[in-house]
Amino acid sequence: MHNLIVVTGGAGFIGSNFILQRMRDESASIVNFDKLTYAGNPHNLESIADNPRYHFVQGDIIDRELVRKTLARHQPRAIVHFAAESHVDRSIRGPEDFIHTNVNGTFALLEEVRAYWSSLGEPDRARFRFLHVSTDEVYGSLGPNDPPFSETTAYAPNSPYAASKAASDHLVRAYHHTYGLPTLTTNCSNNYGPFQFPEKLMPLLILNAQQGKPLPVYGDGKNVRDWLYVEDHCEAIAAVLAQGKPGETYNIGGSNEKPNIEIVYRICDLLDEISPAKGVSRRELITFVKDRPGHDRRYAIDARKIERELQWKPKETFDTGLRKTVRWYLENEAWVRDVTSGSYREWIATHYSG
């Protein structure tokens, strides 16, 4: 078995960053299996599109026959499963897509992977891994003085998105305990960085601020998140894939708890410094909007297990990561133009109207 990995959802934000990072290793080969929904963008991977070690398959993980053929043809040593609907607001407006992809899709994928893995001879069977990328939102919400989420925190998902990811986490766990499939699960905090679709907080703020548009902030802006730079997250996933113990869960966090309003201020101030607007502070664009239903108050991750067992720690501080992110969006206007086409604008208009 060669060093080939199948990545599901590899044209998305975290998936494409992971693929680009892994492809720097000359021994790596990657098959990117992606449905190309609104958030999947093949342009993210243009720099490696012609590399003979990279192969793209357009497909839905729920299409078992296509998954089966892909596994049989490429004989991967691992699956890294990013494919998911991942936006809380979208899950509130239309939960069905989240059940389709996150629950039914993960189940279909697990079934085909189990059949493939069962057919392998030793030592390939022992070496194989299925790594499932999940979220800290499965744990619910924390009070201001609660300890951060650890791997043993009880699940208490509060949005259809979080519930669908919790369901997929449970399926992955069950396939390890019932069938022996060598699974690994990672639960990460809020990611930020290059190639993030501009419905998420940071790119939305950066792009709106540059265009002089209102900067929408939910509620009182005091909801707290733990922020993780995407490249740090991808290195953590690689560490779990290489050294993680099958059946285990690893929480990945940036140790950067910040209220949303602080993120907004920091982005405004950075843009004022890097790309000043005539005599105006971007802070003047801040607009408080009605809070979303079931908006979790605080997330925080206890990442001591991955630090202790796999010697992983984030390299970026919040300041260095944020500066890199703001610069990337300013320097990649063509990418932004491409993803903010009609369908995206319709979504923003529906969602943030009033």
199 within a domain of the structure (yes/no) = no
pLDDT recorded at residue 345: 57
Count: domains in the chain: 1
The greatest distance separating any two alpha carbons of the chain, rounded to the nearest whole angstrom, comes to 68
Mean pLDDT of the chain: 93
- Per the annotation, the verdict on 136 as an active-site residue is yes
Is pLDDT at 26 greater than 50 in this prediction? yes
Work out the average pLDDT over 196-206.
Answer: 89
Provide the token pair at 111.
């079934």
198 within a domain of the structure (yes/no) = no
Work out the average pLDDT over 42-69.
Answer: 95
Strand partners of residue 249: 185
Most confident stretch, 78-92, 160-174, 197-211, 328-342: 160-174
pLDDT recorded at residue 351: 60
Per-residue pLDDT tens digits for 58-72: 999 999 999 999 999
Work out the average pLDDT over 121-139.
Answer: 97
pLDDT recorded at residue 205: 94
Provide the token pair at 270.
């950075």
234 within a domain of the structure (yes/no) = yes
pLDDT recorded at residue 63: 98
144 within a domain of the structure (yes/no) = yes
Work out the average pLDDT over 80-102.
Answer: 91
- Per the annotation, the verdict on 111 as an active-site residue is no
Of 28, 56, 210, 234, the residue nearest 133 (C-alpha) = 234
Catalytic residue among 161, 192, 299, 329: 161
Residue 7 class from Cβ within 10 Å (0-12 exposed, 13-18 middle, 19+ buried)? Answer: buried
Per-residue pLDDT tens digits for 337-349: 878 775 655 655 6
Query: Please, are residues 28 and 49 in contact by the beta-carbon 8 Å criterion?
Result: no
- Per the annotation, the verdict on 161 as an active-site residue is yes
* Domain coverage including residue 93: 4-193+229-253+298-317
Per-residue pLDDT tens digits for 175-195: 999 999 999 999 999 999 999
261 within a domain of the structure (yes/no) = no
Catalytic residue among 85, 89, 136, 302: 136
State the CATH number of the domain containing residue 74. 3.40.50.720
Catalytic residue among 60, 85, 89, 137: 137
23 within a domain of the structure (yes/no) = yes
334 within a domain of the structure (yes/no) = no
Work out the average pLDDT over 52-62.
Answer: 96
Higher pLDDT, residue 40 or 188: 188
**Three-state DSSP class for 208?**
helix
- Residue reference for tokens 């609907």: 85
The whole-angstrom separation of Cα 84 and Cα 312 is 25
- Residue reference for tokens 């619910």: 140
282 within a domain of the structure (yes/no) = no
Per-residue pLDDT tens digits for 204-263: 999 999 999 999 898 999 999 999 999 999 999 999 999 999 999 999 999 999 999 999
Strand partners of residue 228: 191
